[in-house]
């Protein structure tokens, strides 16, 4: 992701696009991959400042079928997808966080495309958007300086296409000391953080249903409880003995007792590994699967690792207080 939008635009060819995304009607973002050009992407939620996006995919708009030159069925709207850096002061993060904190409200979203001079050319208004999925990057100690980028998907219930006009407002730049995927520590039972090679955080998939509300007979998309994927932790050879002993103790009798269910904390840290930037709290983690050596290949450098997969009862993410 480019930290200097102006320097990046200077190096691109003419016809470069920028996209502005505004959630709850007051926000802007700069360009997703436009078929005619390449650009930079930013997103703002709830009237906050514009933040950079790595990627944005607009929703499709179609009907179920066409027979004998006639359309059949109501129009279908596909999902929108945005990828953003979690370390930015983005108003998108509170929106997705509400997914595991009781369910966020349906939100208005607008995407606008601008030229290289930030003149807005056209837009798409997405009404009553509902978060449908959240995915996290793999935390891997060997990844170097890889930014922590979150993928969020949402479903709009109506679309409106609008002409351009106006100018894209100034864009917020990501911090130089942002969050990177290798910079993490894990606090859990029996396993030391230095033994952990990688972490795959659970996907968050809000369950939704279409219901009529009040006197309105139309069925609208509403939130139900989110579904959480599993947490997978990869263990280096130095920790396999401890991981094996834990697996035998918990899994052998086929009964995961209360004392064997644990809360696991994952702290994301700065480059010095001293300052905490944010914390993932995974509540009620019960060991589901232990793989002593999930993949053995002859001739490969290094010793094989092990993996531990946990069911997760509850999930939280809290950025550090600034």
Q: What pLDDT does 15 receive?
A: 35
Distance CA 31, CA 171 (A): 12
Give the pairing type, strands 79-85 and 149-155: antiparallel
Of the two residues 123 and 186, the one the predictor is more confident about is: 186
| pLDDT at residue 83 is higher than 50 | yes
pLDDT top residue among 218 and 200: 200
Higher pLDDT among residues 39 and 57, named by residue: 57
Decide if 51 contacts 89 (C-beta within 8 A): yes
Judge whether residue 69 has pLDDT over 70: no
- Long-range contacts of range 70-73, CB-CB < 8 Å, 24 or more positions apart? none
What is the average per-residue pLDDT within 113-139? 83
Q: What would the DSSP string read from start to end of 165-203?
A: -SBPPP-PPPPTT--BTT-EEEE-SS--GGGEEEEEPPP
- Pairing verdict, β 262-269 and 276-291: antiparallel
Condensed to tens digits (0 to 9), the pLDDT of residues 257-275 reads: 778 899 999 999 998 889 9
Instruction: Of 72, 90, 212, 99, give the one whose Cα is nearest residue 153.
Output: 99
Give the 3-state secondary structure of residue 260: helix
Instruction: Kindly indicate the confidence band of residue 139, based on its pLDDT and cuts at 50, 70 and 90.
Output: very high
Chain centroid to CA 15: how far? 30
Phi, psi (5° rounding) for residue 305?
Answer: -100, 175
Task: For the chain, give percent helix, strand, coil, nearest 5.
Answer: 10, 50, 40
Q: Domains of the chain, with CATH numbers?
A: 5-181 (2.30.110), 184-202+230-319 (no CATH)
**111: buried, middle or exposed (CB in 10 Å: 19+, 13-18, 0-12)?**
buried
HSE-up of residue 31 (Cα within 13 Å, Cβ side): 25
d(CA 77, CA 50): 25
């Amino acid at each position: 992701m480019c930290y200097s939008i102006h320097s990046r635009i200077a190096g691109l060819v003419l016809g470069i696009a920028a996209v502005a995304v505004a959630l709850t009607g007051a926000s802007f973002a700069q360009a997703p991959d436009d078929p005619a050009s390449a650009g930079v992407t930013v997103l703002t939620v709830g009237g906050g400042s514009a933040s950079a996006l790595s990627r944005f995919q607009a929703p499709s708009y179609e009907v179920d079928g066409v027979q004998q030159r006639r359309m059949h069925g109501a129009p279908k709207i596909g999902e929108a997808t945005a990828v953003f850096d979690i370390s930015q002061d983005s108003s998108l993060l509170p929106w997705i966080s509400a997914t595991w904190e009781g369910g966020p409200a349906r939100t208005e979203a607008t995407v606008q495309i601008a030229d290289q001079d930030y003149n807005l050319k056209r837009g798409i208004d997405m009404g009553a958007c509902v978060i449908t999925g959240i995915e996290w990057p793999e935390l891997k100690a060997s990844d170097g300086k890889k930014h922590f980028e979150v993928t969020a998907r949402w479903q709009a219930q109506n679309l409106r296409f609008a002409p351009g006009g106006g100018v894209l407002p100034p864009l917020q730049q990501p911090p130089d000391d942002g969050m990177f995927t290798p910079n993490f520590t894990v606090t859990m039972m029996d396993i030391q953080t230095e033994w952990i090679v990688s972490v795959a955080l659970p996907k968050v998939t809000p369950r939704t249903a279409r219901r009529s509300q009040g006197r309105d007979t139309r069925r609208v998309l509403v939130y139900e409880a989110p579904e959480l994927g599993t947490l997978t932790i990869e263990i280096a050879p130095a920790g396999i003995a401890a991981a094996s002993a834990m697996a035998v103790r918990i899994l052998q009798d086929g009964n995961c007792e209360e004392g064997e269910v644990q809360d696991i904390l994952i702290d994301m840290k700065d480059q010095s590994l001293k300052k905490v930037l944010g914390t993932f709290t995974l509540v009620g983690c019960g060991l589901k699967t232990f793989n002593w050596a999930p993949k053995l290949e002859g001739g490969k450098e290094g010793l094989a690792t092990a993996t531990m997969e946990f069911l997760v009862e509850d999930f939280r993410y809290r950025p550090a207080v600034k």
